[in-house]
């Protein structure tokens, strides 16, 4: 498509399940105006989502204060979906990119996809108005609890994945950590139970008062045996070792497939220490090693990735990091964005999701 690079991953429906799609769209010509880039990307979006039900669409913007309202006005012309607009500038020199998740073969009612006894709920762009990142995080989780309750679900029992976007992450991430930890303690999520796969990363909106935003995915109707929490303890430490409360990864097995959610993963060792300080090349290599260890624990690999996002602290590292990833994992085609990680010493982080055909026929299909 003219001016836009589109990558589409499809896992087919099979006899009982749904066809699902992860689609990434990236502009390719940074010399165009925002309006020209926006129209090209939305034209591509419309073409690749035709006949599909979009459940989540996340747009990565270079300047939300000057772009978000214009994008939102265009999105109102399209079928509704959970939507997230986040300030994470694409690193290929363009002004916006997108990640889209869609399915075929089912309809969504009131934001809920119900199929084969499962209830799937994607939520985007949750915010709060209180002062301070800790209070905003607490309010977001409280509001999400109330929202899930309307659908017969809870955070503790049904939320599988969150994304927490933090304005000025070096300053405000500590409040996010405390707000989430306190909420989890209150609902019984501890190192002795389980946490939730998550990415906590820099990201900002058009409103400078919004310090925290959250996207999330919850599923109702799963059996406990369908869920596997991934650790790769030979490579990574438990997150609780350094005071944070998220799972390194979570795998969900259905009758016809397996979903593998890999949290934001950086160059860290099994003692929780940053590895290869000040070296983006070696950090990228260790990041890939860690992600691969988590994928292997779920009997998956890089060849199974449905989407991949790479976050960088410094734009000057983009070409070197991209070259390392292309050399080591040529099957990947990530979206690269400017988004500092939660520790300043981490120069690069990656998140992804894999979908494999390694289901278990004792469970219902997706």
Can you give the pLDDT at residue 36? 97
pLDDT digits (tens, 9 = 90+) for 135-176: 999 999 999 999 999 999 999 999 999 999 999 999 999 999
pLDDT (tens digit per residue) in 315-365: 999 999 999 999 999 989 999 999 999 999 999 999 999 999 999 999 999
322 exposure class (CB count in 10 Å sphere: 0-12, 13-18, 19+): middle
Domain limits of the chain?
A: 1-106, 111-222, 225-366
CATH number of 111-222: 3.30.1330.40
pLDDT of residue 106: 87
> What pLDDT is stored for residue 111 in this prediction?
86
Q: Which CATH class is domain 225-366?
A: alpha beta
Q: Do domains 1-106 and 111-222 have the same CATH topology?
A: yes
Per-residue confidence (pLDDT) for residue 132, from 0 to 100: 97
pLDDT in tens for each of the 366 residues of the chain? Answer: 568 999 999 999 988 899 999 999 999 999 999 999 999 999 999 999 999 999 999 999 999 999 999 999 999 999 999 999 999 999 999 999 999 999 998 889 888 999 999 999 999 999 998 899 999 999 999 999 999 999 999 999 999 999 999 999 999 999 999 999 999 999 999 999 999 999 999 999 999 999 999 999 999 999 999 999 999 999 999 999 999 999 999 999 999 999 999 999 999 999 999 999 999 999 999 999 999 999 999 999 999 999 999 999 999 999 999 999 999 999 899 999 999 999 999 999 999 999 999 999 999 999
Question: What CATH number labels 1-106?
Answer: 3.30.1330.40
pTM of the model: 0.97
């Amino acid at each position: 498509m003219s001016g836009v690079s589109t990558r589409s991953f499809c896992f087919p429906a099979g006899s009982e399940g749904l066809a699902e799609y992860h689609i990434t769209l990236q502009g390719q010509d940074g010399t165009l105006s925002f309006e020209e880039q926006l129209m090209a990307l939305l034209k591509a979006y419309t073409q690749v989502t035709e006949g599909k039900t979009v459940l989540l669409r996340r747009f990565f913007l270079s300047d939300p204060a000057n772009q978000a309202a214009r994008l939102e006005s265009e999105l109102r012309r399209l079928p509704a979906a959970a939507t997230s607009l986040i300030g994470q500038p694409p690193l290929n020199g363009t002004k916006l990119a997108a990640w889209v998740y869609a399915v075929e073969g089912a309809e969504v009612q009131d934001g809920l996809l119900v199929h084969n006894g499962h209830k799937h709920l994607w939520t985007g762009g949750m915010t709060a108005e209180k002062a301070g990142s800790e209070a905003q995080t607490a309010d977001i989780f409280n509001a999400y609890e109330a929202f899930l309750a309307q659908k017969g679900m809870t955070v503790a029992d049904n939320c599988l994945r969150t994304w927490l976007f933090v304005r000025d992450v070096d300053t405000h991430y500590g409040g996010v950590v405390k707000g989430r930890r306190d909420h989890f303690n209150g609902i019984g999520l501890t190192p002795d139970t389980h946490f939730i796969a998550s990415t906590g990363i820099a990201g900002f909106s058009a409103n400078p008062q919004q310090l925290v935003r959250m996207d999330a995915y919850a599923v109702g109707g799963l059996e406990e045996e369908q869920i596997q929490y991934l650790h790769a303890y030979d490579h990574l430490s438990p997150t609780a070792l350094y005071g944070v409360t998220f799972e390194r990864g979570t795998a969900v097995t259905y009758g016809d497939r397996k979903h593998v959610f890999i949290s934001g993963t950086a160059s860290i060792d099994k003692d929780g220490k940053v590895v290869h300080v000040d070296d983006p090349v070696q950090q990228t290599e260790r990041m890939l090693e860690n992600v691969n260890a988590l994928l292997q624990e779920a009997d998956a690999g890089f060849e199974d990735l449905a989407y991949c996002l790479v976050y960088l602290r410094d734009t000057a590292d983009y070409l070197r990091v991209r070259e390392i990833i292309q050399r080591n994992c040529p099957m990947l085609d990530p979206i690269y964005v400017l988004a500092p990680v939660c520790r300043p010493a981490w120069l690069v982080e990656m998140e992804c999701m894999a979908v494999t055909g390694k289901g278990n026929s004792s469970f219902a299909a997706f």
